[in-house]
Structure 1
Amino acid sequence: MTEKKAELLMIFIILLRSTSFVFSRLGLNSLGMFNILALRYLIAFFLVAAVVPGFRKKVTLRTVKKSAAVSVVYFLVMTCEMLSIRSIGASATCFLENMSIVIVPFMTAFLLRRLPTAFSVAGSMIALSGVAMISLRDGLSGLNTGIVWSFLAAFLYAVYITMNAKICDEHDGLEIGILLNGFLGVFGLMASFLFESPRLPATSLEWICILGLGILCSALGLTLQPVAQSYMPAYRAGILNAITPVSAAIQNYLILGESLGMTGMAGSALIMVSVLLPKICSLPAFSGTRRLIPLPKS
């Protein structure tokens, strides 16, 4: 595959992934959030495991254990994301959660015991300004638990990215992705039995939401994304991933009628700048290096 084809595939995958916020928001109108997670990831697991030849024969116990560990963190990310979507809507959640890309450099700097770069600090300050504009677009009344859940989701996703980067260096990324779907489905089913009354979709809209999340956002996105990223440099993959909140915001406006307002849109633009800043600064012209980045969430 050429780099150009990989970029086109990456854009296609990102557009698929960005629909997850719309499907989740629609599904939450009638289904429990853990019920949605269970159905979504179980469908993705069985579908991908069935089409990937020799998957069950290649998986080792060590890979299963590593996948289980990272799945716990990712399940917490998705729980916080669903709580945030239910509280403040899909558009605000998507932009606020995207701050995880700004958090990662600080987390890496802490683990390596070195000061973060000036670009990381500048990006974080810009991002915080954008978050403040989104959070306070309706005045102090805009501050609610949904904002807290978004922040927590962003932080936990940064933890997930850090863990996933190390695990994927030691294990096959495709195997990790398939097992991740399976564990998330099991965790969601257990939580649904504990806190909800799990059921299968009963209406056409519910089926559309679940199948869209399971097939488009999880099965295709999680499987094809590492393939596309392996054919392009880090800075290019990072910049392309910044399409996610923009695409999600457009879909949320057209389908759900959600609008961030002028203040929210300005804040969203600042968050986009903060996300793109470290990626632009990692261009060969600035750093002279090209490295693969961790897998974003699908």
Structure 2
Amino acid sequence: MTDKKKEYLSVLGLLLAALLWGVSYPLTKVVEDCPTFYIVSIRFLVAAAALALIFHRHFRNFHKEILKYAFLLSFCITSMYIFGTIGIKYTTSVRASFFTCLSFVIIPILNLVIYKLKLNKTIVISVLICLAGMFLLSYTADMGTFSLNAGDLLCILAATAGALHIIFLDRVTKQENMEPILFTIFLMAFVALWSTLIALATGAFAYADTTPFQFGSIIALGLFCSAAAFLLQSICQKYVPSNRVGVIIAMEPASGCVISVFVLGEAMHWTGWLGALLVMVSLLYMEISASRSNA
């Protein structure tokens, strides 16, 4: 298989991962009454167990580097949940959803600062279009002023943690002898461990009102929105630069809002539909430009 075909398939794989994360929006709505880290703990325990069971033969490829990188990157994902969970308590849900989805803006900035990776014209234009789309997608009359409060800053830290995960994963997947499936199993296991410790410390497991439907939704979150989505990301990101990955992953909130409209019957203003369209336009522009430059 040629490198160009691998890149093309990887973009499709990352897009599928973003769509799976988008499914988490209506599923999370079903379990919104449950404590956050009760959900996160069970979700990632299910993800780790399912992947370990399905791909148990991959454990023969174990080496310490896989464990080390999974351990380190698990803090990025866990931090994203911690900052996001605390942040939403001190700001509106609309502002929280906007600021926690800004990873696609933060990624090229961090790449420039950490790795001196210069921004090209295509990435800048794609990010700006995507930013406009995300603003329209999140905007409501009660969004308030543009001044930042403590909750907004915490949500930006959540987005930064997500951005760091994508940036560091870009380097990890290119390591020699890196087994993406085994890496994802340990990554899910470490996130499950940290989340379970937080759930125990906060008394989240004392919650006993979970209905069978809610518990089934958490299982679905683990199987599809964690196990499948993160596995696709670990496999596919090797062939797509992290700056492009950020814009692709921005399809998550856009698809999540659209799916919620059709599945949950939620209403979305015309500005939201326009915002979702702009996010898709930014992705198409970036990928068409990338295809032309590789031609």
Normalising TM by the smaller chain, what interval? 0.7 to 0.9
Secondary structure of 2:205 counterpart: coil
Instruction: Give deviations 1:9-67, integer Å, cap 9, x for gaps.
Output: 776655433211222222121x1111111100011111211221334343222321211
Give the residue type in structure 2 aligned to 1:204. P
Partner of 1:193: 200
What is the Cα deviation at residue 103 of structure 1?
Answer: 2.9
1:40–1:213 Cα contact (<8 Å) kept: yes
Q: Take 1:82 and 1:260, find their aligned partners in 2: how far apart are those partners? A: 24
Partner of 2:221: 213
2:129–2:279 Cα contact (<8 Å) kept: yes
1:102–1:120 Cα contact (<8 Å) kept: no
2:212 to 186, 200, 204: 204
Partner of 2:121: 118
Partner of 2:165: 160
Partner of 2:181: 174
2:73 to 50, 70, 88: 70
Q: Take 2:13 and 2:137, find their aligned partners in 1: how far apart are those partners? A: 31
Shifted more, 125-134 versus 2-11: the winner is 2-11
Partner of 1:222: 230
Aligned-pair Cα RMSD in Å: 3.8
Partner of 1:247: 255
What is the Cα deviation at residue 228 of structure 1?
Answer: 6.4
Q: Take 2:106 and 2:213, find their aligned partners in 1: how far apart are those partners? A: 36
Cα distance, 1:132–1:207 mapped onto 2, change above 3 Å? closer
Cα distance, 1:91–1:46 mapped onto 2, change above 3 Å? farther
1:123–1:274 Cα contact (<8 Å) kept: yes
2:58–2:182 Cα contact (<8 Å) kept: yes
Cα distance, 1:228–1:132 mapped onto 2, change above 3 Å? closer
Q: Take 1:255 and 1:91, find their aligned partners in 2: how far apart are those partners? A: 23
The question of 1:183 aligning with 2:186 is answered: no
Q: Which runs of 5+ in 1 are unaligned?
A: 290-298
Q: Take 2:154 and 2:268, find their aligned partners in 1: how far apart are those partners? A: 18
Q: Which runs of 5+ in 2 are unaligned?
A: none
The question of 1:278 aligning with 2:286 is answered: yes
TM-score (norm 1): 0.76
Q: Take 1:204 and 1:90, find their aligned partners in 2: how far apart are those partners? A: 29
Instruction: Give deviations 1:247-270, integer Å, cap 9, x for gaps.
Output: 312221233444342233333433
Q: Take 1:11 and 1:118, find their aligned partners in 2: how far apart are those partners? A: 22
Shifted more, 234-243 versus 254-263: the winner is 234-243
Cα distance, 1:202–1:113 mapped onto 2, change above 3 Å? closer
Q: Once the two structures are aligned, what percentage of the paired residues are identical?
A: 22
Cα distance, 1:149–1:22 mapped onto 2, change above 3 Å? farther
TM-score (norm 2): 0.77
Query: May I ask how many residue pairs the two structures share in their alignment?
Result: 284
1:21 to 25, 28, 34: 25
Secondary structure of 2:56 counterpart: coil
Q: Take 1:134 and 1:123, find their aligned partners in 2: how far apart are those partners? A: 16
2:105–2:131 Cα contact (<8 Å) kept: no
Q: Take 1:146 and 1:280, find their aligned partners in 2: how far apart are those partners? A: 37
1:96–1:151 Cα contact (<8 Å) kept: yes
